[in-house]
Structure 1
Amino acid sequence: MGGRSVVLLNILLIVVAVSAGEAEEEPVNKSTLGLWENNNEDELDGGFPSLDGILHWAIGHSDPAKLQQQAQQHLSTQDDHILQKRQTEIKEVVEKLEEEMPSDSKLMQLAIHDLKNNNNNNLEDALHQLLILVEAIHNANNLHNMGGLSLVIAQLNNSDHTIRTTSAWVVGKAAQNNPLVQNQVLQLGALPKLMLMVKSSFIEEAIKALYAVSAVVRNNDKGIELFYSQGGDIMIQGILSNTTADVRLHRRLVSLIADLAEYQLVYNSNLELPFLNNCALVKVLFDLTTSDDLDLQEKVLLAVKNLLMLESTELLVLDGFCGLKGALERMRLQLQQLIREENDNEYAIDVDGLCKEVNLIYLEKLTKTRGLNNISVSQVPT
């Protein structure tokens, strides 16, 4: 039977069903009864010459509204069945994939196994695998228990600078905002090595090492104390005063200064960091305000803002905070020129607003420190 005949039969079944329902309520039409009594075998379906004939008769003796309703119900039932079948198939495929997909723990074990073999051909892939996995805090917490953290730290001494770079990156990623891993890294003695790597001639190695140093010492008393005892202040001033250093190093170091100052402000830490109220450090920061890099300028302002709020910087404030007023004025002139040249650069406008805020904080602290509220001080630049 052809495709057209199948379609007609499906429609016919619905129509006849509706017609049959109507027949129970209506008297029999004898004029049509004879059509069904014809037993001529040469004619199809009791006297109708074709399926078309049956269809025409059925449609003529049915209610169109009921016919449409029955057809929709029939199609809806078929659609629901197909949908349920496909949903079941998809669920089975997903469950199978989940069974076959290795867990994070298994992937970490494989990566750690490659680190143990110490084969440089596989080390880079293994480290990148761990770099992705330790973004999840539970994986970072398990890294040391699985023997992976000490192996990663060991690779900080690898002769290949790319391996050292990725290893430092993994350490920083695992330790970021994670006190447990921070303390583990400190116990394994990795911080001095990372600080040494910050001075590397390979710029990516230096950047990733500084990233790790910042992650390990952030909001961690032991880490900050060790950082300072290992000459962290000298490292900071040395790199910031190097005008040829990569701007990414400058940005991260300035952010580190801001973090160290903020830690003392937020946690009321008794840990003293004399270099934070050292005029030499502040002047190095001010020198960076001449940079064309807006991101760096913003970070400098945030660092200066935090330093101004420290009680230990009161003497610096009384002494003009190492030339802060002049530095802010130069920065504002530079920002306003940039705003004019770049049609109201929104980022420059935001940095300019921060510049005004820092100046206001300075003036307020100067008044408070002098203890003379009636002393006339210069107004905030407009």
Structure 2
Amino acid sequence: MEKNLNQLLKWSIEAQAAASAGQSHHSHGTSSPGASNNGPATGTGAVATSPAPQATGPGPRPIDPEVLASLFGGPSEAELMKAAMEVITDPSPETTLENKLIAFDNFEQLIENLDNANLLEKLDLWSPLLSLLEHEDEDMRFHAAWCVGTAVQNNEKTQERLLAMGGVPKLVDLAMKEGESEKVRRKATYALSSAVRNYQPAMDVAAEEMHKRGHEVLVNNGTKVDAADMDKVDEVIEHLRGKAKAEAKAEATAA
């Protein structure tokens, strides 16, 4: 709060300085020698007066909305994240699936911000998020995988946390699960792609889990898949996507 008050104080000082500068320009405007105090001058000696010069230069910087929110009772983004997850995981029938999915959309937008994604651990939101990968509703599983992928994209800190929480095997299971919808499998594959790129520990665990399920593309002369080799990672991910598409097509044909 002290930091926010200091920001607000600085903004207030800048605003007052800009206002004072404008008043100073106005009060020091020059009057014409031929001007009369009793009314407008006329005749050959009349000189038209010019408007007072306007203040120039940058005005005060716009104040950060987060500062105003914290000062005047508005929810912080961390509080919005927690509130969204409360809606998403609310078991009461009054909270509809539609409302849960709206909350999921809001949650995903919030964790696009790297700092907010890093707050997942501090706010104890990893456990409920990962549990939703096993939700009975297809759309809920889809959005859970989407949020996981967003949270770990280009972020080693959250990649590490996902691995520590056992999330990588969950994503592999969802991405390769027979009978799962193609859209959920593809979104889980996206999340897995984000989880393993440039993070070797997650790539090693994912490789082991996929090999257990017959993902032979991971075998390359007995060497590990290099998490920093984007072409090789793409090969693994495309294999998963192709497998999901082929199995979905086979199921549709059989039905």
Give the shorter-chain TM-score range. 0.5 to 0.7
Q: What residue ranges of structure 1 are gaps of 5+ in the alignment? A: 1-15, 22-44, 46-53, 239-252, 254-259, 266-275, 289-382
What corresponds to 1:156 in structure 2? 133
Give me the CA root mean square deviation: 4.2
Deviations 1:326-350 (A, max 9, x none): xxxxxxxxxxxxxxxxxxxxxxxxx
Count of residue pairs the alignment pairs up: 192
What corresponds to 1:60 in structure 2? 43
Instruction: Pick from 156, 160, 179 the counterpart of residue 179 of structure 1.
Output: 156
Q: Which structure 2 residues correspond to residues 13-92 of structure 1 after superposition, within 5 A?
A: 18-19=33-34, 58-63=41-46, 67-68=47-48, 71-72=49-50, 75-77=51-53, 80=55
Is 1:19–1:61's contact at 8 Å kept on the other side of the alignment? no
- Residue identity in the other structure for 1:60: G
- Residue identity in the other structure for 1:103: S
TM-score, with structure 1 as normaliser: 0.42
Deviations 1:283-315 (A, max 9, x none): x98xx9xxxxxxxxxxxxxxxxxxxxxxxxxxx
Report the CA distance between 1:198 and its aligned residue.
1.5
Q: What residue ranges of structure 2 are gaps of 5+ in the alignment? A: 1-30, 219-224, 243-255
Is 1:104–1:139's contact at 8 Å kept on the other side of the alignment? yes
Deviations 1:190-211 (A, max 9, x none): 2222112223542221111001
Shift in CA distance, 134/232, structure 1 to aligned 2, threshold 3 Å: farther
* Structure 1 consecutive aligned stretches of length 4 or more whose deviation exceeds 4 Å: 94-101, 232-238
What corresponds to 1:191 in structure 2? 168
Report the CA distance between 1:109 and its aligned residue.
2.0
Greater relative contact order, per chain length (Cα 8 Å cut-off, separation 6+): 2
Could you tell me how far apart the structure 1 residues matched to 2:229 and 2:105 are? 35
Could you tell me how far apart the structure 1 residues matched to 2:155 and 2:62 are? 37
Instruction: Pick from 64, 83, 87 the counterpart of residue 114 of structure 1.
Output: 87
- Residue identity in the other structure for 1:132: Q
Report the CA distance between 1:150 and its aligned residue.
0.8
Larger radius of gyration: 1
What corresponds to 2:120 in structure 1? 143
* 1:213 pairs with 2:189: no
TM-score, with structure 2 as normaliser: 0.59
Question: What secondary structure, in the 3-state scheme, does the structure 2 residue paired with 1:59 have?
Answer: coil
Shift in CA distance, 108/262, structure 1 to aligned 2, threshold 3 Å: closer
The sequence identity of aligned pairs, in percent, is 23
